[in-house]
Chains A and B, each alone.
Chain A
Amino acid sequence: MATAKGKSSAAAPPKKTPRKVRILVGKPGLDGHDRGAKIIARALRDAGVEVIYTGLHQTPEMIVSAAAQEDVDGIGLSILSGAHNYLFPRIIQLLREKKMGDVVLFGGGIIPDDDIPKLVKKGVDRVFTPGTTIQEIVDYVNERIRPRK
């Protein structure tokens, strides 16, 4: 588990400023294609978001437990293995069990168009398709996700 907490976080933040948005970027399942996840992690960090990157080969349990430990506001998953129909719903189920249903879950990767409405219905907030720019994802996070407390 690596945490990269933005450029300015080395110094203790002043008390009254609200804390930064905190996003966990995760790679669930066994696929090793992390190019997209790493680009997004870097872009969000550059945009001032606190990014926690899980690294590869995470189980849904590992992801949800990291999300709880790090008290994140959102989880972004990148899945290219075709296992999205199992992994997303399982993570949503675990979040609800842990009373973390308000954590915003989004994702991308190789996800056929037909599957997207089904995933959204199950509670995935947004699924990005290939060709999305970095800025679109940064804008989405900035507009959609707020610190939970």
Chain B
Amino acid sequence: MYDRKKLAGIATRRKKWHEEELTRSLRKSPQRLERFSTVSDEEIDLLCTPDPLSNFDYEEDLGYPGQYPYTRGVQPTMYRGRLWTMRQFAGFGSAEDTNARFKFLLSQGQTGLSTAFHFPTLMGYDSDSPRARGEVGMCGVAVDSLKDMEILFDGIPLDKVTTSMTINGPAAMIFAMYLAVAEKQGVPFHKVGGTIQNDILKEYIAQHSWIFPPEPSMRIITDILAYCADNVPRWNTISISGYHIREAGSTAVQELAFTIADGIAYVQAGIDAGIPVDKFAPRLSYFFNAHMDFFEEIAKYRAARRMWARIMRERFHAKDENSWKLRFHTQTAGCTLTAQQPMNNVVRVALQALSGVLGGTQSLHTNSMDETMALPTEQAVTVALRTQQIIAEESGVANTIDPLGGSFFVEQLTNGMEEKAMEYIRKIDGMGGMVAAIKQGYPQREVADAAFHFQRLVDAGKKRIVGLNAYRSQEEVPIPLLKIDDRVEKQQIARTKEVRRMRDAKKARACLSALKEGSLAPNVNLMPLLVDAAREYVTLGEMCDTLRETMGVYTDPAMF
């Protein structure tokens, strides 16, 4: 891309500038810090010039939006054609509470839904399980059966609104319930669009809401891939998620590397299950964190697109261009928000959201200022949504594609990110792939080490966090917090018991025994059996318990 002679000249003059101008200046006034590094503690150059990019090839490394390798974006017009989907993650209390929040957010200009389930649902327990005590409706909405799902989407047409559901261990069961609601609304499956997270490998690495061990979990996932390819073609079958890996304390490179390595494992599993790669790969999507280091994050998204395109074309020989495109959702980093001076979080979120947009995200969730302390109040979530709207409508950043493309700094960071992430991927390949690496505890250990290192930097004041280890204030202004009503647990338990009493018991039992038999036969696709069970109001806990018997359960290796 650059003239070699000119680059050599730049390198010489840069060296001269460094030795003379810079050295003189540093003698007079030293730099603020001894070492400058990103939030992931990667060292940053004082000045970026074109000479380190001597092998950089515009056509090969950047190309054009909507074209391989998609570094500059997956659509030819990007946000000039359509803005990203504004998809705030919501869920608390009962299905009624959450339905009201969904409708409120849609009325405020949100363009897609995103469901947060409470922990018992995430772990495959009904609200009346002893394991659910104290947790019902606390960190998300309680969904035990089709009844709850009907209430959750009451008055929301599933052929018009797409829904993302953060659900992993019991993704197949919750998806079955969603399809059963669509059916009740008269929406045919081929018109239903949305996303289930369904990324179990990330659960073992970071988020830790699992049910079954890796192998049976992977079987359920390939069942979903095959079922959707034939029946629900608009559905995003896996949202391969780096978000939680980053929240657990990884660096940006680790987030990128482990997430892409998870993606590789899913594609390989789909191929091994006999599904042609181009039949399922176009419906895989990604989910990344927008952390605090602005340029590092932008570089991460750009590198991710380029890596995935290369991997899908060169490693998996996908032919469909849609298989090469990495589409992704972004969420601002919950772990960067502080309980101290919570209003400052609005500013953090705005910067993080901007990095997601400049990185070319397809969908965005902005965290609310109060989320380090509780689920967001209506007021806090409105400010968070308005943050996206202001970026979209007022800032002008959505008016051209990849405005930072060609920046010496950003291109250098993007290249570095790809190189370092590929090193990790080669290492994981060497271990036999991600499932094997997880069993050895490799990514878990890497993340724990990075989390510990970062905490040490913060405690030592080497990474400054405003309000926390810098500019602390004595008087804290409290902000209003959302409280979950204690009655939710009682009401939810009563409803689930009522569902079990009212349904056709014989049919429910038959569904469960069919599910059990199906799970023992490796060639049976479990999805149709789960949809049947959902229709008959079999509860989530019952479905999961049945499969726990035949597939086993995963337990925490408890390493630190």
List chain A positions with a Cβ less than 8 A from chain B.
1-2, 4, 25, 29-35, 37-39, 41-43, 51, 53-57, 59, 80-83, 85-87, 90, 110, 112-113, 129-131, 133-135
Contact = CB atoms under 8 A, between A and B. Distances in A.
A1 B456 CA distance: 26
Interface string B127-170: 00011111100110000000000000000000000000000000
Interface in B191-213: 203, 206-209
Contacts of A83: 133-135, 138
30 contacts: A2-B557, A2-B558, A2-B559, A25-B560, A29-B134, A30-B120, A30-B125, A33-B247, A33-B248, A34-B248, A35-B247, A35-B451, A37-B560, A42-B448, A42-B452, A42-B560, A51-B560, A54-B558, A57-B123, A81-B139, A82-B484, A83-B134, A83-B138, A90-B134, A110-B372, A110-B373, A129-B339, A130-B340, A133-B459, A135-B459
A111 B459 CA distance: 21
**Top 3 A-B residue pairs of the complex, sorted by shortest distance between their CB atoms:** A32-B208, A86-B134, A55-B558
Interface in B446-468: 448, 451-452, 455-456, 458-459, 468
A6 to B, nearest CB: 13
Contacts of A30: 119-120, 122-123, 125, 131-132, 135, 209
A95 to B, nearest CB: 17
B374 interface: yes
Interface residues of B, number: 45
A30 B203 CA distance: 13
B372 A130 contact: yes
Contact of B373 (A55, A56, A57, A112): A112
A87 B134 contact: yes
A68 B486 CA distance: 32
B558 A29 contact: no
A90 B335 CA distance: 29
B50 interface: no
A82 B481 contact: no
A41 B560 contact: yes
B64 to A, nearest CB: 40
Contacts of A82: 135, 138-139, 374, 484
Contact of A38 (B135, B247, B372, B560): B560
A45 B340 CA distance: 28
Given A57-B556, A110-B373, A32 B134 contact: no
B282 interface: no
Contacts of A130: 338-340, 372
B468 A39 contact: no
Given A1-B558, A134-B455, 19 more contacts: A31-B139, A32-B209, A34-B248, A35-B248, A37-B560, A38-B452, A39-B249, A41-B560, A55-B555, A56-B208, A57-B208, A59-B131, A85-B134, A87-B134, A110-B372, A110-B374, A112-B481, A133-B458, A133-B459
A4 B560 contact: yes
Contacts of B133: 83, 86, 90
Contact of B556 (A4, A33, A56, A133): A56
A9 to B, nearest CB: 16
A12 B134 CA distance: 42
Nearest to B249: A35
Contacts of B374: 82, 110, 112
Contacts of A129: 339
B373 A39 contact: no
A2 B373 CA distance: 30
B245 to A, nearest CB: 11
A34 to B, nearest CB: 7
B493 to A, nearest CB: 14
A38 B119 contact: no
B135 A29 contact: yes
Most buried by A among B139, B374, B456: B139
Contacts of A57: 123, 208, 556
Contacts of A53: 558, 560
Interface of B: 119-120, 122-123, 125, 130-135, 138-139, 203, 206-209, 247-249, 335, 338-340, 372-374, 448, 451-452, 455-456, 458-459, 468, 478, 481, 484, 555-560
A134 B139 contact: no
A33 B451 CA distance: 12
B466 to A, nearest CB: 12
Contacts of A29: 119, 134-135
Most buried by A among B120, B122, B556: B556
Nearest to A79: B134
B557 to A, nearest CB: 7
Nearest to B122: A30
Contacts of A43: 452
A43 B456 CA distance: 10
Contacts of B339: 129-131
A47 to B, nearest CB: 13
A54 B122 CA distance: 20
Contacts of A135: 459
Nearest to A28: B134
A135 to B, nearest CB: 6
Nearest to A29: B135
Contacts of A42: 448, 452, 560
B119 A131 contact: no
B60 to A, nearest CB: 39
Contacts of A37: 560
A42 B131 CA distance: 28
B249 A81 contact: no
A84 B76 CA distance: 50
Contacts of B119: 29-31, 81
A70 to B, nearest CB: 13
A83 B125 CA distance: 15
A55 B557 contact: yes
A30 B555 CA distance: 12
Contacts of B203: 32
A90 B133 CA distance: 11
Given A30-B123, A42-B452, A81 B135 contact: yes
Nearest to B459: A133
B158 to A, nearest CB: 28
